[in-house]
Chains A and B, each alone.
Chain A
Amino acid sequence: MRRRTIFSLVLALVVASAIPALAADPIRIGAIFAVTGPAANLGLPESRTLQMLVDDTNASGGILGRKIELIVKDSQGSTEKAVSFAKQLVEEDGVLAIIGPSTTGESMALKGYSDQNEQILISCAAAATIVQPVAKWVFKTPQMDSFAAQAIFATMKKLGISRFGAVVSNTGFGQGGKAQLEKLAPQSGLTLAITEVYDSTATDLTAVLAKVKAQNVQAVVNWSVEPAQSLVPKNMKQMGFDVPLFQSHGFGNIAYVTAAGKAADGIIFPAGRLLVAGVLPASHPQKQVLSAYKKEYEAKFGDEVSTFGGHAYDAFLILTEAVKKAGGTDKYKVRDAIESLKGLVGTAGVFSFSPEDHNGLTMESFEMLTVKNGAFAVYGR
């Protein structure tokens, strides 16, 4: 008797919890971003953007008539946390896909896990290694770091530079950049005289820059996403090291320019077109997407848009387009649908995926930018 009561109670609970799920039946999406911590400059705009898009979509009736339920986890840029959040999202929350993580280190930690568990992961981190070699279930939205290195080298050649030095941070992003610089410099006929790795929390880099200066280089490349991006230009000026400074696409956040002040003027770096949306010709295919996103984000958060938020924008766009194309939330069909998306206009560029290409962008997605009087401008224009 007692046992039967318990049984019926449990049954009632199960039924009760199943009913609302059937009635609302939202599409669950997980996100892992470094909302706080040293990579917060990436994670915060990403999480804001994603929440904004989910709210917009739900306000206009959702996708295929279903609302979207977003679960955002703050990994603080920690690989361990990213992994345990991913397990939580998949095993407890049963999400359709995970958007993020923000950083390369975290993304690489999740690459194997996602593939083994057949879990869609759309990373917002840069390094080419996330999708090369291709993992069946892993995609990424930012431009490849190999494209960034190639774009930098093309500009160096135009300036007649043949010998340069590099400083990179000791993060996944920095290591990824280091690998690409070392691999691609000889192919472009350039000499990489010295590469130094610094701590991502460094507060002064004059000593390491003195070492680079001693190598008689014609230019310096800094590859990081940390505040060190503002330290390097300041330190160079302070020590009278007057050669062109190139930075990676990680420099696409105006806060770094503000923190570096006058020292930022003249920095050259590759970036998506979001930062110069205002000066793009009206005929440019990305003009409409970029302007609309920039306007909404800046109005809503009173903060300048950065390329990182754009990466989350693109991830959401890709996922929702794939769900529409698949006509449901069967993860196998959605994954196949992502792989078949062509000519999808996002903030980073125009995405065309294939089974071999899980990034879908080309070098054309980068524009070389520079800093003029504390603002971003198209380089050479």
Chain B
Amino acid sequence: MSADQILQYLLSGITTGSVYAVVGIGFNIIYSSTGIINFAQGEFLMLGGMISVSLAPHMPLAAAIAIAVVATGLVGVALQLVFISWLKNPAILRVIIITIGLSILVREASLHIWDEKVRALPFWTGSETSSLAVLGAHISPQVLWVLAASALMVGALTLFFRFTITGRAMRACASNATAARLCGIRTSTLVTLSFFIAAAMGALAGCAVSPLTQTQYDMGTSLAVKGFTCAVLGGLGNVTAAVAAGLLVGVLEAASISILPLAYKDVVALAIMLAILFFRPEGLFGGRRAALAGVR
């Protein structure tokens, strides 16, 4: 195999991985503040993509994306208020199952609002045909946008969780909701806020990946599975790790494709994930305590 080809596989891996990474981030937000795995996260990506694609012909791309992000955030809030907030001390498993139900609800609603067709947002720079040459291999400029969006989200979230009162209060909620309440933290408001942030970030991710992966009403599930894998692989609650794990899985899949038939790529990725979880249940980059407390 020539150096060019190896580089091309690497860039392909980064392309795939950048999508996984940006999805993986969303899982961490709600988890970090509530300990819940939100299986409707993929639907937030789909909604972000769908809304922005619908708005894009009528306004500048940036405005369409901004509206999609805010609108999806509000959908996240509405779902949390209507379906989750009124439960008194629900078991985490129960809430997780509710989120699965919500994902089906959002998916079916989208099928009725839009339709079954695939759509794609225009490329943020260039077009479907533009490609950047990197030492003889090629990559789409949109991949750089996805990575930039990931970096932006990771940066903003890290600052938010570490250095703002609200962010720290959210972590306290996940750590021990009762203790947090006793300290005067309004846990219910913070959980609602975490749904807003997760849905909004999911929508931004959905807009960033739409030119590459395309958007249709049922894209959420398959993306969510990969994103969830990466979030677990990196260590739940750690957004930086989710990005690293996403890229790692992407590159591993590309490496597997280069030697084995394509059908084996998920086997390779999942086998590696199982092995890692077996030896390091806290994830690749998680500390021992994170696995127990779910907080970093």
Contact = CB atoms under 8 A, between A and B. Distances in A.
Interface of A: 36-38, 40-41, 44, 170, 196-199, 201, 203-204, 206-211, 213-214, 227, 230-231, 233-234, 237-240, 255-256, 258-264
Q: Is the interface of A mostly helix, strand, loop or mixed?
A: helix
B253 A203 contact: no
A204 B254 CA distance: 11
Given A36-B116, A37-B218, A203-B223, A239 B13 contact: no
Of the candidates B1, B128, B266, the one having the most CB atoms from chain A within 10 angstroms of its own CB is: B128
A90 B214 CA distance: 39
A261 B223 contact: no
B216 A196 contact: no
9 contacts: A41-B117, A41-B118, A197-B261, A197-B263, A203-B219, A207-B257, A230-B118, A239-B11, A261-B122
A203 B266 contact: no
Interface string B262-275: 11011000000000
Given A203-B222, A207-B254, A262-B127, 20 more contacts: A41-B117, A44-B115, A44-B116, A199-B266, A203-B16, A204-B12, A204-B19, A206-B11, A206-B16, A207-B9, A207-B257, A208-B257, A210-B258, A213-B8, A214-B1, A227-B118, A238-B15, A239-B8, A239-B11, A239-B131
A204 B129 CA distance: 15
Contacts of A206: 11-12, 15-16
A370 B159 CA distance: 51
A263 B15 contact: no
Given A196-B261, A239-B131, A231 B214 contact: yes
B21 interface: no
Nearest to A214: B5
A261 B16 contact: no
Contact of A259 (B8, B120, B130, B257): B120
A230 B209 CA distance: 14
B140 interface: yes
Contacts of A40: 111, 116
A262 B122 CA distance: 10
Contact of A255 (B9, B111, B118): B118
Interface string B102-117: 0000000001000111
A52 to B, nearest CB: 17
Chain B: interface size category? 35 or more
B22 to A, nearest CB: 12
B254 A238 contact: no
Nearest to B8: A210
A256 B219 CA distance: 15
B15 A230 contact: no
A170 B265 CA distance: 13
Interface of B: 1, 5, 8-9, 11-13, 15-16, 19, 111, 115-120, 122, 127-131, 133, 137-140, 209, 212-214, 216, 218-219, 222-223, 253-254, 257-258, 261-263, 265-266
Contacts of B266: 199
Nearest to A43: B116
Contacts of A255: 117-118
Contacts of A44: 115-116
Nearest 6 pairs of A and B residues by beta carbon: A40-B116, A203-B213, A263-B128, A238-B140, A207-B12, A206-B12
B251 to A, nearest CB: 9
Nearest to A229: B118
Contacts of A36: 111, 116, 218
Contacts of B133: 240
Given A196-B262, A210-B12, A240 B131 contact: yes
A210 B257 CA distance: 9
A211 B259 CA distance: 9
Contacts of B16: 203-204, 206-207
Nearest to B133: A240
Contacts of A231: 213-214
Given A197-B262, A203-B212, A203-B213, A259 B118 contact: yes
Nearest to B215: A259
B118 A256 contact: yes
Contacts of B219: 203
B110 to A, nearest CB: 11
Contact of B216 (A209, A227, A261): A227
B131 A238 contact: yes
A237 B8 contact: no
B16 to A, nearest CB: 4
B11 A262 contact: no
Contacts of B13: 207
Of the candidates B11, B19, B116, B253, the one having the most CB atoms from chain A within 10 angstroms of its own CB is: B116
A261 B218 contact: no
Of the candidates B11, B218, B257, the one having the most CB atoms from chain A within 10 angstroms of its own CB is: B257
A256 B129 CA distance: 16
A177 to B, nearest CB: 15
A210 B16 CA distance: 13
B128 A262 contact: yes
B129 A237 contact: yes
A329 to B, nearest CB: 33
Contacts of B118: 41, 227, 230, 255-256, 259
A43 B137 CA distance: 40
